[in-house]
Amino acid sequence: MSWLEVSAALRELTQVRNDGGSMASSWRSFVDLVNADPGRHPFHLRAIVGIVEDVGRAQGPNRVRILDHGGGGCSTLLYLCAMGYNGIHGIDLHSSNAKRWNRLLSEVLDIQETRLFSYDGGHLPFADDSLMSCSASRFSSTCGRMWSIPITPRNIGF
Ligand SMILES: C[S@@+](CC[C@H](N)C(=O)[O-])C[C@H]1O[C@@H](n2cnc3c(N)ncnc32)[C@H](O)[C@@H]1O
């Protein structure tokens, strides 16, 4: 499917979110769209999807934990989540939009912990040793330095 189609489905989901309604039906439509043509992903997502799938094959999709460091509106995270990778986490310096998706996670996906945050750029909203190592990411060396964590292929940050 094209990114235009994905964006349209995301806009519809966002509208329902903003209106405060149930997102279950719009989420199901989004999931169906994302999975309509497995293996054919929007061009700009192919690299990260490939990485996630590699890790998912190695350790099982449910064990993959993903951080988008600069998650913005969470379009990439929501795309990966729709593919079945529920271990999404996002932080963003400026966007209050990101954390508004926590309602989708809790109400539709039964993920009760907060996964999406805005933050101050200095203090990551994760407990020490709770989450991240990074792999195959243009940010991996930065994140490794910032967080004093080993770079291993267990989890994914981008
Ligand atoms: C291109 S947008 C995000 C797109 C998003 N990753 C996606 O795939 O949909 C880049 C985001 O990075 C955020 N950002 C920039 N510098 C940052 C930093 N040091 N820490 C966290 N977020 C940052 C911006 O606020 C912006 O929302």
Torsion of CA 93, 104, 38, 41, to 10 degrees: -30
Q: List residues near ligand 1 (CB under 6 A).
A: 68-73, 75-76, 91-95, 121
Comparing CA positions, the residue from 8, 17, 20, 4 lying closest to residue 97 is 17
Q: Where are the domains of the chain?
A: 44-157
Q: Whose CA is nearest to atom 26 of ligand 1?
A: 72
In the predicted structure, residue 101 carries a pLDDT above the cut 90: yes
Confidence at 6, pLDDT banded by 50, 70, 90: very high
Instruction: Give, for ligand 1, the residue of 10, 67, 95, 137 to mutate: max count of ligand atoms closer than 8 Å to Cβ.
Output: 95
Distance 92 CA to ligand 1 centre (A): 6
Looking at per-residue confidence, does 132 or 105 come out higher?
105
In the predicted structure, residue 98 carries a pLDDT above the cut 60: yes
In the predicted structure, residue 95 carries a pLDDT above the cut 80: no
According to the model, what pLDDT value does residue 113 have? 93
In the predicted structure, residue 138 carries a pLDDT above the cut 50: no
